[in-house]
Amino acid sequence: MPTDEICIAVFDLNGTLYTKKSKDEFFKFICSKKLSKARYIFQMAYYQLRLKLHTLSQTEFKENFFNYLDKIPPKQVTVFAKEYWAKEYPGEFNKKLIDRLEALRKKGIKIYCATGALELYVKPLFELYPVDGLVGTQVEYVNDTYLVKGEACKGEEKIRRLEQQLKGKPYKIVEAYSDSKEPILDKAQKAFLVKDGKIIPYSSSD
């Protein structure tokens, strides 16, 4: 075993550390700012249906679902996101999981968030709850809309992005947490599913 191997714990955000789904809740928050975004509700439902029917890729889904952020520049999205997370944290977060991550941190294990959510609005959360690294879906603001850079941070892409951030250094995932089965759980020494706030041991045969 390499002596310089980095030990990390990885958690998903939505439905895992955060008890809600931020893509939906952040939309509601944006609407609460009286920005006339409610018209996007049916459009969003349409893209969610297409995703479930597998007629839309995760990357295409992200680009279309977040059309409600059109014409809101990144700096303003960041301002809204800071306000949003200040309202949600820590009350809407899984305290048991936070306590577990803090116990691992005290042992010198690095804490990483790997989420399909847009880094654009997730980053301000980690000013409130610091982590060692974040990998999420990256976007760029082009002609008043947001386009996904590369691929949405889902499935195997989470592992690729994590390794990219670690810059090729040897590592092992000591523990991983998610609300659904995904490749990063299979890569961890210990893996857990979070269901209705409960942390349940996971195996690849589940």
Residue 60 located in a structural domain: yes
CATH number of the structural domain spanning residue 17: 3.40.50.1000
Count other Cβ atoms within 10 Å, centred on residue 84.
22
pLDDT at 1: 44
pLDDT at 46: 65
3-state secondary structure of 160: helix
Count other Cβ atoms within 10 Å, centred on residue 205.
4
Provide the token pair at 104.
């691992």
pLDDT at 39: 56
Residue 109 located in a structural domain: yes
Distance between start and end Cα atoms, the chain: 29
- The Cα–Cα gap between 85 and 123 comes to 10
Domain range for 98 is 6-201
pLDDT at 27: 86
Rounded average pLDDT per 10-residue block, the chain, 206 residues:
82 98 90 63 63 69 75 95 98 98 98 97 98 97 94 95 95 97 97 96 80
Residue 140 located in a structural domain: yes
Residue 93 located in a structural domain: yes
Query: What strands lie across the sheet with 110-118, from one edge to the other?
Result: 133-137, 110-118, 6-11, 171-178, 190-195, 198-201
Residue 1 located in a structural domain: no
Total structural domains in the chain?
1
Convert 38-49 to b/e letters by CB count within 10 Å (16 or more is b): eebeeebeebbe
pTM for the model = 0.88
Residue 74 located in a structural domain: yes
Residue 184 located in a structural domain: yes
Residue 206 located in a structural domain: no
Question: Which positions ≥6 away from 146 have C-beta within 8 Å?
Answer: 63, 66, 69, 70, 118, 120, 139, 140
